[in-house]
């Protein structure tokens, strides 16, 4: 489901003031790209990206003010098209009356910001990139364990929510239960969060719905978390060979990102919360260059080589 962003959303989320073009505040923004119309100020509109949000900084405004009235009118008229979602003027600069007039005629909102141009373009880009990021939803539980975002997946009834509850009791933080909304905010970064309807809630069979924040406090939940590790819970299969050393690293592809994945078999007597907790700590160790499985393999190889020599 693609996000719908309108110009009025910028007014609600940023320190912007609507100066003109009020009729167009419901215009849809269809791209996260922001244009600084520098070359357009010279009169070259052949490749003008009119569907983008336009940002006028000190350089563009200074050039505009040096033009004669006829040129100013021409530039303002060409800037304000029927699909331009808005024009943001930064640094608290005074906005020329000609630009205000053309804005009101065409219904292109002019938004005023007191911030520096680089700060404005950075914050707006980050906001729009997050809104337009590729999106998917996965059935599972997302928990923040020692700063590692662990996505717990598995078939229905395998014990995902019960494990998450035990992890919360051990001091970790719940992000989402049952359905995890995931956005790819960078080429290698997946951010998971909970749908608003079920935020902070856990479904435990036999108990029903519980509110984790009410029971365990505000420190037991968080609104979003980067996903670093996937734990797949599955019922123990006697015929299946499970990894006992950890040398082979499996991954799961979510959109365009490959995330490390471990499969943990479930059977009575196994403390899944502790196992997943250790998996998160082991993941952190690996990222710091410590790999217990490789160390064991090296020791074993060395021992075999010594015995062969003897």
Query: What digits encode the pLDDT tens for the residues 119-145?
Result: 999 999 999 988 888 889 999 999 999
Answer yes or no: is 113 a known binding residue.
no
HSE of 296 in the Cβ direction (CA atoms, 13 Å)? 7
- Clarify whether 160 is annotated catalytic: yes
Active-site pick, 205, 239, 244, 267: 244
Joined together, the tokens standing for residue 81 give 């098209």
pLDDT of residue 273: 93
Ramachandran angles phi, psi of 238, nearest 5°: -60, -25
Instruction: Establish whether domains 5-132 and 135-298 are of one fold.
Output: no
Answer yes or no: is 230 a known binding residue.
no
Round to the nearest angstrom and report the end-to-end CA distance of the chain. 66
Answer yes or no: is 289 a known binding residue.
no
Query: What is the DSSP pairing of strand 53-56 with strand 34-35?
Result: parallel
Report whether pLDDT(243) > 70.
no
| Percent with pLDDT over 70 in the chain | 95
pLDDT of residue 267: 83
Answer yes or no: is 86 a known binding residue.
no
Answer yes or no: is 158 a known binding residue.
yes
Active-site pick, 160, 173, 183, 225: 160
Report whether pLDDT(237) > 80.
no
Q: What is the mean pLDDT of residues 16-24?
A: 95
Average pLDDT, the chain: 91
Answer yes or no: is 208 a known binding residue.
no
Active-site pick, 8, 178, 224, 284: 178
pTM: 0.73
- Exposure letters 184-216 (e unless 16+ CB within 10 A, then b): bbeeeebbbbbeeeebbbbeeeeeeebebeeeb
- List Cα–Cα distances, 232 to 44, 81, 177, 285, 305, in angstroms: 56, 51, 15, 20, 37
Answer yes or no: is 155 a known binding residue.
yes
- Categorize the per-residue pLDDT at 242 as very low, low, confident or very high, splitting at 50, 70 and 90: low
Report whether pLDDT(34) > 60.
yes
Could you give the CA distance from residue 213 to residue 135 in angstroms, rounded to a whole number? 26
pLDDT of residue 88: 97
**Superfamily covering domain 5-132:** HprK N-terminal domain-like (3.40.1390.20)
pLDDT of residue 2: 55
pLDDT of residue 186: 76
Could you give the CA distance from residue 29 to residue 195 in angstroms, rounded to a whole number? 23
Could you give the CA distance from residue 59 to residue 38 in angstroms, rounded to a whole number? 8
Could you give the CA distance from residue 136 to residue 151 in angstroms, rounded to a whole number? 14
pLDDT of residue 303: 82
Joined together, the tokens standing for residue 221 give 């939940």
- 17, 18, 26, 47: which is closest to 35 by C-alpha? 47
Contact 281, 226 (CB under 8 A): no
Report whether pLDDT(16) > 70.
yes
Contact 61, 87 (CB under 8 A): no
Could you give the CA distance from residue 207 to residue 224 in angstroms, rounded to a whole number? 26
Active-site pick, 139, 169, 170, 299: 139
Could you give the CA distance from residue 198 to residue 14 in angstroms, rounded to a whole number? 27
- List Cα–Cα distances, 130 to 38, 183, 213, in angstroms: 26, 8, 26
* Boundaries of every domain in the chain: 5-132, 135-298
Give the residue carrying structure tokens 């734990």: 231
Cα 77 off chain centre by? 37
Does the domain at 135-298 match CATH 3.40.50.12280? Answer given as no
Q: Which residue did the predictor score with more confidence, 186 or 2?
A: 186
Report whether pLDDT(216) > 60.
yes
- Clarify whether 139 is annotated catalytic: yes
Q: Could you report the per-residue pLDDT of 80-110, keeping only the tens digit for each?
A: 999 999 999 999 999 999 999 999 999 999 9
pLDDT of residue 157: 85
């Amino acid at each position: 489901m693609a996000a719908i962003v309108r110009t009025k959303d910028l007014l609600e989320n940023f320190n912007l003031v609507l100066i003109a073009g009020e009729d167009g505040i419901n215009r849809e923004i269809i791209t996260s790209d922001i244009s600084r119309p520098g070359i357009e100020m010279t009169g070259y509109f052949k490749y003008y990206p009119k569907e983008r949000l336009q940002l006028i900084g000190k350089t563009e405004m200074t050039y505009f003010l040096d033009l004669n009235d006829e040129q100013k009118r021409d530039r303002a008229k060409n800037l304000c098209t029927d699909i331009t979602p808005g024009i943001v003027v930064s640094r608290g600069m005074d906005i020329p009356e000609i630009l205000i007039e053309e804005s009101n005629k065409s219904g292109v909102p002019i938004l005023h910001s007191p911030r520096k141009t680089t700060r404005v373009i950075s914050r707006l880009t980050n906001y729009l990139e997050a809104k337009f990021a590729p999106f998917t939803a996965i059935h599972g539980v997302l928990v923040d364990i020692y700063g590692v975002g662990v996505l717990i997946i598995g078939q229905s009834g395998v014990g995902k929510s019960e494990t998450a509850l035990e992890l919360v009791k051990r001091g970790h933080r719940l992000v989402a239960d049952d359905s995890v909304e995931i956005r790819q905010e960078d080429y290698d970064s997946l951010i998971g969060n909970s749908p608003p309807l079920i935020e902070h809630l856990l479904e435990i069979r036999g108990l029903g719905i519980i509110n984790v924040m009410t029971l365990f406090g505000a420190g037991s939940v968080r609104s979003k978390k980067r996903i670093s590790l996937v734990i797949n819970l599955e019922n123990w299969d006697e015929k299946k060979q499970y990894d006992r050393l950890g040398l082979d690293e499996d991954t799961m592809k979510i959109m365009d990102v490959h995330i490390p994945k471990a499969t943990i078999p479930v059977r009575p007597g196994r403390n899944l919360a502790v196992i997943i907790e250790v998996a998160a700590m082991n993941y952190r160790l690996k990222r710091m260059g410590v790999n217990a499985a490789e160390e064991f393999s090296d020791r074993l190889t060395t021992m075999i080589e010594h015995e062969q020599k003897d």
